[in-house]
Structure 1
Amino acid sequence: MEVLMEFDGLDNVITVKSANVDLGQALPQHVRESVLRITEKYFGELVAAPVYFSREGPLFRCAVNLQIGSFKMISAGGLGTDCYQAFNVAIEKAAKQLRRKKRAVRDNRARRPSRTTIPFADARP
């Protein structure tokens, strides 16, 4: 019961939709838990996360779009024999993009010189 109460305010942020696919009740909850876990791990500023399921012949396709803070939207897709497998492939691709983006932001901050440092050439003896 507690888990469902956590997601009451997130229905507008993490939307789970489908075209001609019955999602049931457990899949949207699994999607919300996974998206929250991934976004909190790397940035934690989730603005919007639409997740969309559809059929492609005998397979299922999942498209995950994550809008985090002021970054460009991260998009990932996955195919699988069932919805869970397709979602897991897509969320792993999105997580990889988030890891790379966090590493790039962290490395960029480390390269910026501090305002209090004096360049070696201008240092006085």
Structure 2
Amino acid sequence: MDATITVQSSNVDLGEILPQHAREGIERVAGKYFGQLTTAAVHFTREGQSYRCTVNMQMSGTKMMTGEAQNDDAFQAFNTALNKAAKQLRRKKREVREDKGTRLDKDMLLRDGLRAG
């Protein structure tokens, strides 16, 4: 994907595996819903004993989808936040799909085929 995916943190050492895990998760979700990722940002902060993760994703033609989660494990916080953003994308995709009208030409062909058979 040619979109920009940024992974940042405030006062948290992310290492090498967590940013890679975040990028792969964003790319997987982006490929599943709409397919054209415009921009994505993942931000980790530390709040006491737990981590807070915010995931912002924008697909082409949609508004920014945001998921936020807090957990004692940074990976779990990211996965939960990503699932929240993915749920918003799934709902948006369903909304767009259900908004389309019925194609009369295909509908008539199907009905004619059912009557003939």
Listed as ranges, the gaps of 5+ residues in structure 2 are: 107-117
TM-score by length of 1: 0.78
- Report runs of 4+ in structure 1 exceeding 6 Å deviation: none
The 2-side partners of 1:113 and 1:14 are apart by 37
The 2-side partners of 1:42 and 1:116 are apart by 28
- Number of equivalent positions: 106
TM-score by length of 2: 0.84
Output aligned runs, 1:55-94, within 5 Å. 55-94=46-85
Aligned CA RMSD, in angstroms, stands at: 1.8
The 2-side partners of 1:34 and 1:113 are apart by 34
Q: Deviations over 1:37-57 (max 9, x none)?
A: 011011111010010000111
Q: Does 2:91 match 1:100?
A: yes
Listed as ranges, the gaps of 5+ residues in structure 1 are: 1-6, 118-125
**3-state SS, counterpart of residue 15 of structure 2:** coil
**3-state SS, counterpart of residue 100 of structure 1:** helix
Q: Does 2:10 match 1:23?
A: no
**3-state SS, counterpart of residue 94 of structure 2:** helix
- Counterpart of 1:36 in structure 2 is 27
